[in-house]
Structure formats: structure tokens, C-alpha cells
Amino acid sequence: MWWFYRRGPSGFSGASTAEEVTAGIDGRGMVAVITGASSGIGLETARVLALRGVHVVMAVRNVSARLAAKEAILAKVPEAKVDVLELDLSSMASVRTFASMFESLNLPLNILINNAGVMTRNCTRSSDGLELHFATNHIGHFLLTNLLLENMKRACRDSGVEGRIVNLSSSAHVMTLAEGICFDKICDPSGLNDFIAYGQSKLANILHAKELSRILKGAASTCYVAMHPRVKGISGKYFTNCDIANPSSQASDTELAKKLWQYSLQTVSS
């Protein structure tokens, strides 16, 4: 485990906390939208950004968890500026409604953190007829980003502060990426045993990461990329432990990225 504590070029390691990597950073006057902000890394990210003075808009699916999440932050950061809005990323209608509600707040947007994700072994479709993982983890965030992009551009022009969009990835998304070559492919029941076996191995990875996050406050890289001055001007890179890292060959495939972008545009426009 020695490597976990080894500091990289950023000066931080896998053991660094979100508070450590944002120490001394003044986020006052900035606004951030964080999806999946009611629990886990999303909630910790919201708390730390609020601690640094950022006005945080928590986008959450579970209505009953909304107020509890906000109160949890205010209990630790009484002066925090926090709004909570409902968002179900598996529904394009919900994404559009969220974007409209956000615009009605008349706030600029400086930081968008696409944190939420779903993992299920059930081969189900979203309300829009898409495979659920693909709909929630990718299409929902893709549409949300597009709908909020003009606000971010405007905020950047008005303030002179660089806007940042942070897309989180985890072992849960490896399954989506593997299917993502066919994009909206629905699970084939004939391959269900292999699918479950693969899913269980990934679930083990996730449970490990989840427990590690609980112990070490695993939102460090998210907050670092969202706020740290060292990241200014850096775009389209993959970070781990606050340092630039090399993703898989598929994740580096430019042509696949272009095809996915075009497919996503067609999907959200239909």
C-alpha cells in the first residue's frame, strides 16, 4: 500500500482528502452543479465546495434524500449556500426540467460535476427506451451538459473565470463503455451468466472503492479538478489521485469518441 501514499506531480496522493487539495482556494462568487449529490462522493464534493464558498446546486433523484443531504452540509458548514433540485438522469424530460429550473434561479454556472451513476444487473430500459446504464450514466449527463453549456460560456465571458466540466468515471462505467461500442445495445439474455459474472467482479471493485472513499473522503480528485489553479487550461484529460493518468485504449479512441458524440446528439434530439 506504500504506493497509495506516494505523492504525484500535483503534490497529492491517493490518501489526500478533498479538504487538503482545496486548502486556501477561495470559491466565493462561483456556482457549481453536482449530480448525484445526496450521498457518497457527490455529497462530500458538495460539502467541500460549499466550505470553500462555492454556491452549490445539488441535483438529486431521490426526493426524500434531498433535504437530508442539504441539512447534512449545513450542519457542518452553517454559512453554506446550497440549493437542491430534482433530477432523474434516466429521463430526458427530467433533465430538461432540471435545466429549466436551474435557469429560473438566475445563477451563472462555473462548475458542472457529472458525478451521478447507476449500476444494475437487470436488463431494463429507461423511460425513453434506452438501455438504463447508457441512458443514466451517459445520455443524461450529455444532455444536461449541452443544456447548461451556454450559461457556462456566458459566465466565463462575464467573470473571466474559466468554467470547468468534470465527468467522473469508475469501474461501474467500464460495463457501460464495453457495451457503448454498440451504444444502445440491450442486454442479450443468452449471455446473462457472463454478464452477471462480469458485473459481480465490477461490483466488488465498486464496493472496495466505496469503502475506501468513506474512509479517506474520496472526493479529492473531483474537487482538485473542479477548483485548483494548477488545472487551468487543461482539458479532456483523465485524472486519478489528482494527477493526469492514461485511460484505457478504448477511452483514448478519438474516432469512437466522435461516433459516440454524434450518436448522443441524435438520441437527445429525437
H or E segment and range at residue 14: none
CB atoms within 10 A of CB 173: 19
- Are 223 and 37 in contact by the 8 Å Cβ rule? The answer is no
| Catalytic, out of 5, 198, 224, 238 | 198
For the packed helices 40-51 and 63-76, what is the interaxial angle rounded to 10 degrees? 40
Is residue 198 annotated as a catalytic residue, yes or no? Answer: yes
DSSP 161-210: PPPEEEE---HHHHHHHHHHTSSSPPP-GGGHHHHHHHHHHHHHHHHHHH
What letter represents residue 133's amino acid?
H
What letter represents residue 61's amino acid?
R
3-class secondary-structure state, position 17: coil
Residues that are catalytic = 198
